[in-house]
Amino acid sequence: MKEKVILAYSGGLDTTALIPWLKENFDYEVICCCVDCGQGNELDGLDERAKLSGASKLYIENIIDEFCDDYIVPCVQAGAVYEHKYLLGTSMARPGIAKKLVEIARKEGATAVCHGATGKGNDQIRFELGIKALAPDLKIIAPWRMTDVWTMQSREDEIEFCKAHGINLPFDASHSYSRDRNLWHISHEGLELEDPAQEPNYDDLLVLGVTPEKAPDEGEYVTMTFEKGIPTSLNGKSMKVSEIITELNAMGGKHGIGIIDIVENRVVGMKSRGVYETPGGTILMEAHDQLEELILDRDTMETKKKLGSQFAQIVYEGKWFTPLREAIQAFVESTQQYVTGEVKFKLYKGNIIKAGTTSPYSLYSESLASFTTGDLYDHHDADGFITLFGLPLKVRAMKMAEAAKSQNK
């Protein structure tokens, strides 16, 4: 009986070519698994394509709600942003995909998992760390690192390989952007983006929306509510998180929200330039921040910012299934106990403009913040506070003056 391998299958040329390649080089029974994180119509026709290419079975596993609730929400609550810009769209999805690949491997009694990530990127790390953490006994096959047996170097090579195995597919050899899409975002790499000196060709590149210049001249107001840091409604309508993100994607795309052009530092040590479209995610992150700044005290917010940055790096590096991620997430969840309220803002030509925030747990006191004297604040108290707060500065200045005086003598 042949051993089984679970192939992380997207339906693209790379993973399609992997099916006959795995059978030819390892004599595996190939079982494809496509994990649906919100790729939309990219999943159309996958079953026929996988079977045509020689797979014995194809699983299409919908984890959209799990992706939103178990991966996106913790990152939103943590304020996890990698290198000040990247909202972790690809990074967040990989642990969920790895988890599902392992589940299917166990169900099918497979001995190996194969992925089509290249040897230069981050995804190989994210997939493999997830698989190792959940199923250390499974063999991992990464063809792009197996240059002795994986000899294909281009789309033309892969197309010829498929044709030689009787597989005629609707792919051509023309080069296009390398993209990754899910409910949270779409990423773009390649072509003119490989040269940081070139401006992105947004007319050809954008998928989810338009540039701010092409957005409507009239803004759109949006109202959201949160309960314990989790979005619960949009414009007065209760929705689950995946539905809210879907609606925000449409609104944000329309108004040119969430387009970033970044040169980021990959885990493997090289810099990579890409454009990310995250319209709904950008709005959701901003709305959460807008509410949180009303509720969290200064010390908690400062600590949370530091841990949020560390959380982003953990996710980016594929270390989701680690004690450190769990520990930081536990801290973040404790900070969300009172992050409940309503946020209103206006979307206008790439901008998210505040239009009012309310919460029953707001720490903002109008009487304290106003210029009139309130019952809780006596201006004279500032004298003693400033004296003590500035004491180290004053003592240092005095000592420096004494030292300078001694040297002059």
CB atoms within 10 A of CB 186: 24
20-24: long-range contacts (C-beta < 8 A, 24 or more apart)? 20/53, 20/54, 20/161, 20/162, 20/165, 20/167, 21/143, 21/150, 21/161, 22/114, 22/141, 23/54, 24/165
Known catalytic residue: 94?
yes
Q: Binding site: what residues are annotated? A: 8-16, 86, 91, 116, 118, 122-123, 126, 178, 187, 264, 276
As a whole number of angstroms, the distance between CA 183 and CA 403 comes to 64
Q: Binding site for ATP: what residues are annotated? A: 8-16, 116
**H or E stretch covering 130:** helix 123-134
- What are the Cα distances from residue 337, in Å, to 30, 44, 144, 341, 361? 46, 41, 45, 12, 10
Query: Which one from 36, 49, 53, 94 is the annotated catalytic residue?
Result: 94
Known catalytic residue: 14?
yes
Query: Which one from 36, 49, 123, 273 is the annotated catalytic residue?
Result: 123
Name residue, tokens 């944000």. Answer: 252
Q: 366 is written with which tokens?
A: 């109008």
The SS3 of residue 208 is: coil
Query: Which one from 47, 65, 155, 178 is the annotated catalytic residue?
Result: 178
Q: Binding site for L-citrulline: what residues are annotated? A: 86, 91, 122, 126, 178, 187, 264, 276
Among 119, 272, 122, CA closest to 195: 272
What's the chain's length in residues? 409
As a whole number of angstroms, the distance between CA 102 and CA 15 comes to 18
DSSP 373: P
As a whole number of angstroms, the distance between CA 127 and CA 115 comes to 8
Name residue, tokens 């919908």. Answer: 62
The SS3 of residue 406 is: helix
Among 140, 230, 171, 238, CA closest to 10: 171
Among 117, 111, 162, CA closest to 142: 117
Among 337, 336, 347, 332, CA closest to 224: 347
Helix-helix angle 155-164:13-26, to 10 degrees: 50
Q: Binding site for L-aspartate: what residues are annotated? A: 118, 122-123
Strands (DSSP E) found in 78-119: 112-114
Q: 353 is written with which tokens?
A: 């403009």
As a whole number of angstroms, the distance between CA 98 and CA 102 comes to 6
**H or E stretch covering 358:** strand 351-358
Please list the active-site residues.
Answer: 14, 94, 123, 178
